[in-house]
Amino acid sequence: MRQSELFTKTERNAPKEEVSLNAQLLERAGFIYKNSAGVYSFLPLGWRVMRKIQAIIREEMDAIGGQEVLMAALHDKKYLKATGRWDVDVVFKVAEGAGKEPSFNLSWTHEEIMAEIATKYVSSYKDLPFAAYQIQAKFRNEPRAKSGLLRGREFLMKDMYSFHASEEDLMKFYHGMAVPAYKKVFGRCGLQAFVTVAAGGDFTISNTHEFQVASDIGEDTIYVCGQCGYAENKEISKLKDGEKCPQCGGIIKEEKAIEVGNIFPLGTKYSEAFNLSFDDEKGEKKYVVMGSYGIGVSRLMGVIVEKYNDANGIVWPESVAPFRAHLLALNGADGEYIYKTLQTAGVEVLYDERVMTAGEKFAGAYLIGIPWRLVVSPKIAENKVEIKRRGEKESKVVDVGEAVKMIMFSART
Ligand code: ATP
Ligand code: MG
């Protein structure tokens, strides 16, 4: 894409009212726009990143048999009334007209909706198991919406629901499929997420598991083993800093962390509420056993920015970067040839052909944080280009063909 056609521009200064680093960098670089506290729009660069993160999630959910759906975002109050969740604090309620009592709520999670849908298709053990997922906007009236994409009042979530004939089958899917798939998702996004044992809560049959990324700005505290990565949320843990890990004898450390995902063995609470049952092999009626699996899709983007940045801006991992290469044409140099060459080679490239100073172009490129920066200028010999990785100091002048190869065959995140 030609940068002169991109409708957003980078800004020199951070927005005054943003306190969180991810929001400051993402707004300055033109990835997101803040509509109100905890409510953001994704702009072209930001949406490209969002789509890459979503593609990773879709691939991994599809790989474990997840079937993608898109459920309604406007929910009749009968759903939450059925499970006693209508009066949960964070639920945004909607009235059908002025002066009327709220009779709907905006989607905040979908256990009820999905359970009811399943009643139409599940009647026998032969209809089980299956899992359905979606990537959709969720609305929660969060009291502390000051951390940019980390805690939105509107945010994108991937939520999956699985349906099983037995608790045993649920736990097989939960530990055997969902946990490994989640680890892959976060790993591919450049994040190390600890599988953390967490509290069960009202609607689960056992402990739940959170996926926690260590970070000083995290709202959670976890105890994590430096050797095997075993982790427990402080809320339920009896472990202490410096103690021996119960799993491997390594040393336990206390860390602040951000929850990027959460999985729940739900049991039959929701199937009971919606009479979601099936006939087992002996013809006996049983309630379906459910699991639910969330990933904070937009929060992930915020966490990546919190982890991958330096004094000059964002340093995107290659797997989620908005473009692979950023080509800057300085001081009237012509970059058309290399722009076309990169495009022909299938490299996603942002081509800065705007008329402006080299200093401004460099500052913008640092801020946006695309993994490979290519520079053509009158000072560099013809058919050569200066190539540099974002986050590294060294640059090299190489042939155009060599630069294309370096970009195409780098598999680093
Ligand atoms: P938290 O404890 O952070 O409020 P939660 O337990 O309410 O999270 P879930 O309902 O399990 O979260 O939602 C699944 C995932 O969605 C979470 O693991 C988190 O990554 C993400 N998430 C939850 N609330 C928000 C929010 N307000 N903004 C952005 N992402 C969120
Ligand atoms: Mg919450």
Q: At what angle do helices 21-28 and 297-307 cross, to 10 degrees?
A: 90
Q: Which two tokens stand for residue 342?
A: 């990169």
Q: Ligand 1, closest atom to CA 260?
A: 20
Question: Between residues 255 and 206, which one has the greater pLDDT?
Answer: 255
- pLDDT value, residue 276: 98
Ligand 1 neighbour 48 (Cβ under 6 A): no
pLDDT of residue 202: 66
Q: For the residues 160-180, what does the mean pLDDT come to?
A: 98
385: enclosing H helix or E strand: strand 384-389
What pLDDT does residue 145 have? 87
Domains present along the chain, CATH in parentheses: 3-215+257-310 (3.30.930.10), 323-412 (3.40.50.800)
Helices 297-307, 44-63: axis angle to 10 degrees equals 110
Model confidence at 413: pLDDT above 60: no
Cβ(361) – ligand 1 distance below 6 Å: no
* Closest atom of ligand 1 relative to the 302 alpha carbon: 29
Task: List pLDDT tens digits, range 243-279.
Answer: 999 999 999 999 999 999 999 999 999 999 999 999 9
- What is the Å distance from ligand 1's center to 341 Cα? 43
| Residue 200 confidence (pLDDT) | 82
Per residue in 360-385, is it b (16+ CB within 10 Å) or e — as a string?
Answer: ebbebbbbbbbbbbbbbeeeeeeebb
Atom of ligand 1 nearest to the CA of 145: 27
Q: What is the pLDDT of residues 95-124, one digit of tens each?
A: 999 999 999 999 999 999 999 999 999 999
Pocket probe mutation, ligand 1, options 157, 297, 305, max atoms within 8 Å of Cβ: 157
- Please indicate whether residue 152, judged by its CB atom, sits closer than 6 Å to ligand 1: yes
Q: 92 near 106, Cβ under 8 Å?
A: yes
d(CA 324, CA 317): 10
DSSP 230: -
Mean pLDDT over residues 357-370, rounded? 98
Q: How many CB atoms lie within 10 A of CB 148?
A: 27
Provide the pLDDT for residue 412: 55
* pLDDT band, very low/low/confident/very high, at 383 (cuts 50, 70, 90): confident
**Ligand 1 centre and the CA of 296: distance in Å?**
6
- Alpha carbons within 13 angstroms on the beta-carbon side of residue 58 total 12
CA pair distance 127, 279, nearest whole angstrom: 10
For ligand 1, atom 16, the nearest C-alpha belongs to 296
Q: Which among 231, 78, 261 has a CA at the least distance from the CA of 160?
A: 261
pLDDT, residue 224, reads 98
Q: Is residue 144 predicted with pLDDT exceeding 90?
A: no
Report CA torsion sign: 372, 27, 214, 206: negative
